[in-house]
Amino acid sequence: MSQALELARRGLGRVSPNPPVGAVLVAGGADERRADGWHQFYGGNHAEVNCLEAAREAGIDPRGADLYVTLE
């Protein structure tokens, strides 16, 4: 969750009036793999979408993974 909070800070000053949001996907057990994303600018994709796109690009299957998001 601390990594998601750090990612959210990247959106400060860029996403208003929306809140800055970060997301981290953690997949797998012993061979844990991660992907992340954040809300980069107002009107842009949400953090979760950016995170899932990063997972897809890295070849990470999000099914059964944990997604940590800094918003609700």
Residues taking part in catalysis:
48
Q: How does 10-28 read in b/e, with b if 16+ C-beta sit within 10 Å?
A: ebeeebeeeebbbbbbebe
Q: How many CB atoms lie within 10 A of CB 38?
A: 26
Using alpha carbons only, what angle is made at residue 23 by residues 54 and 39, rounded to the nearest 5 degrees?
Answer: 80
Tokens of 50: 């950016």
